[in-house]
Amino acid sequence: MKTICDFNFKDEKALIRVDFNVPLENGRVTDSTRIRSAIPTISKIIKDGGACILMSHLGRPNGFEDKFSLIQIKAELDSLLKIETKFCEDCVGSIAEEMSNNLLMGEVLLLENLRFYNEETEGDDEFSKKLSKLATCFVNDAFGTAHRPHASTTVVAKYFENKFFGKLLEKEVLALKKVMNNGNSPILAVLGGSKISSKIPIIENIIDKVDDIIIGGGMSFTFIKALGGKIGLSIHEDSMMEKALGIIELAKQKNTKIHLPVDVVCAKEFKEGAESKIFPIDSIPNEYEGLDSGPESVEKFKRIIMSSKTILWNGPVGVFELESFSKGTKEIGIAIAESTKSGAFSLVGGGDSVAAVKKFNLENEVSYVSTGGGAMLESLEGKILPGISALKK
């Protein structure tokens, strides 16, 4: 990995792919996590005596749409960088080239939304070439889009001799490596969420890299039904039952322990405040559905978490969005935080898991929270991300 720490950016203009795809409300940023994550890279280049040209997408616009303009995040960026940045109302063409040419060392230029052009998502070569004209070197610091072979994430890299991993991208790659390649044993994967089908490729890829796999949340019911249990109205995928049994068999061959819930908090209605009862997970009455991990399951999972040295958490173990059914996910998060405090390395990734650690104020209590949902999932599936391979060539 050629990182920005391997280079002095004095008198260089760096084109940086950042991920500023942040939530907005009335034109204001409501969660600046992704902008904050890019600050160390930008600051390093400015401190060296270089200039930064930032490019990002925002949402899924259809052509030029004001509601997706990156001008809306400029105030937040200025506040975090503690400088007045410049804004270009285009990302390619004569205006962008002129503003880039006139950019002084120590200054930062934010380009308009890349996805105002279809050429960005099409990975268009000519569009990539136009972007490359704006700078002397390229830095990718957008892990969240590294799995997309888009113009700004992948194709543009071929036009630069000097291309680097930004600090965030480097941290993401190293955190994943720590889990997948060189983590201290016992290594644990906590996998949750509603569907087993979306996690099958991950399980198959990590099954011989980890010692234990906790399977919780909605996806556990497919396993329980496949094993002959009665799951009532609980969410499951009949088409995946054979696959679930195959995973249990594969785990035995690989000497990897699969841990399923033993009890579950159930209700007749999927709503906040619904009257709940606890049942063994394989004996749920017909009119009930499982909505959270039961107390016995949580205690079982906590013991495994506390004895692990490397932990990957991807997916909640209950409907944590509803307060009535959030206890299991919260307890799992607290246990991972405690295990981290005792010396374990913990990586949390995937939209719902990240939302859970934020909801329960645990994001500073784990080792690393990934900024890339889809990119992280594809990495866990063993795929080589195009945005990363483009930097290595």
Query: Quick check: 314 and 380 in contact, CB under 8 A?
Result: yes
Number of other CB atoms surrounding residue 102 within 10 Å: 10
Residue 34 appears among annotated catalytic residues: yes
Query: Quick check: 45 and 9 in contact, CB under 8 A?
Result: yes
Residue 343 appears among annotated catalytic residues: no
Residue 36 appears among annotated catalytic residues: no
- In the set 17, 34, 178, 225, the catalytic residue is 34
Residue 195 appears among annotated catalytic residues: yes
Residue 179 to residue 186: CA distance in whole angstroms:
11
Q: What is the 3-state secondary structure (H, E, C) of 72-112?
A: HHHHHHHHHHCCCCEECCCCCCHHHHHHHHCCCCCCEEECC
DSSP 363: T
Query: Quick check: 258 and 247 in contact, CB under 8 A?
Result: yes
- In the set 106, 229, 246, 351, the catalytic residue is 351
Beta strands in 130-275 (DSSP E): 137-140, 163-165, 187-191, 212-215, 230-231, 257-259, 263-267
- Structure tokens belonging to residue 221: 């019911």
- In the set 74, 86, 158, 195, the catalytic residue is 195
Q: How far is CA 206 from CA 173, 181, 197, 211, 382, in A?
A: 16, 10, 15, 10, 8
- Dihedral sign of CA atoms 37, 355, 353, 242 in order: negative
- In the set 106, 229, 232, 374, the catalytic residue is 374
- Which amino acids are annotated catalytic? 34, 195, 351, 374
